[in-house]
Amino acid sequence: MAGYPFRRALVTGASAGIGEQFARILGDAGVPCVVVARRGDRLRDLATRYPGFEVLEADLQSDDGIAAVAARIAADTDPVDLIVNNAGFGTSGPFHETEVERATGQIDLNVKALVALTHGAVNAFRARGGGHVLNVSSVASFQASPNMAVYAATKSFVTSFTEAVHEENRTFGVKVSALCPGFVATEFQAVSGGADRFTRTPRILWLNADKVARAGLDGVAKNRAIVVPGWQYASLPVLAKLTPRLVVRRIAGKIV
């Protein structure tokens, strides 16, 4: 796209990875951003590079962090009209070996925080006559993923939830999209415990974070309910529905 229809954006998880790419792309396009993450030092470094950037240091696994971001979304001073719910994390390995705090933490961040901020955004945008919500999901949402059981389940929720909210708001000027990328080369892999996945996964399956972020921004601007970047993954939603679940589970388990 030559330009974006957004006047001001709020991006969660903006301190690294795809979230940072969202902020950089928007900043380069002249769209001021409220950048949100726990690591304030990284956010402040990012904000110095773009005029109009605002830093909001918040932990979205806490009720106080969610409340602070929800309040900024609702604010009428310098209002935002694009929310990118990008913050999230995963854990690799057998479920029974995962610390229960990390398992439930994924639900708190990937689901609870995203639902709360989407709720705040939709209400604010309806009152203002329009806006955009981009929820970052994953191709893992289209099937169960052994060794990333909780992560895939949270993303399955995100995709289904986003589709429903998209339909509810289709005639109210509020555009809601789910971005469902495949493997993206970011520090997410190291945080999830899958740092060696890059060497084990065919290079053709890896996507560039910049292209993924651009696909998401273009998709929500066009009000596409589901955005699957990369030709490698374009047919995956259909194949996942047509292929027996046993086969899909086994393939996903081999990959992950």
The answer to whether position 2 is within a domain reads no
The answer to whether position 3 is within a domain reads no
Contacts (Cβ under 8 Å, ≥6 apart) of 231: none
Task: Please report the pLDDT score of residue 201 as a whole number.
Answer: 65
- Average pLDDT (14-38) is 97
C-beta of residue 90 within 8 angstroms of C-beta of residue 83: no
Bridge partner residues of 178 (DSSP): 135, 226
State the SS3 of 117-154. Answer: HHHHHHHHHHHHCCEEEEEECCHHHHCCCCCCHHHHHH
To the nearest 5 percent, what fractions of the chain are helix, strand and coil?
50, 15, 35
d(CA 117, CA 158): 13
d(CA 41, CA 51): 17
CATH code, 99: 3.40.50.720
Domains in the chain, number: 1
The answer to whether position 158 is within a domain reads yes
d(CA 123, CA 117): 10
Task: Please report the pLDDT score of residue 194 as a whole number.
Answer: 53
The answer to whether position 170 is within a domain reads yes
Task: Please report the pLDDT score of residue 1 as a whole number.
Answer: 44
pLDDT tier at 93, thresholds 50, 70, 90: very high
pLDDT tens track for 144-200? 888 999 999 999 999 999 999 999 999 999 999 999 998 887 665 555 455 555 556
Global pTM reads: 0.87
| SS3 of residue 35 by DSSP | strand
The answer to whether position 1 is within a domain reads no
132 lies in which domain range? 9-255
| Angle separating helix axes 114-128 and 149-168, nearest 10 degrees | 10
The answer to whether position 216 is within a domain reads yes
Tokens linked to 180? 């469902």
65 pLDDT more than 90:
yes
**C-alpha separations of 111 from 23, 118, 173 in Å:** 22, 10, 24
The answer to whether position 201 is within a domain reads yes
The answer to whether position 78 is within a domain reads yes
> What is the set of active-site residues?
151
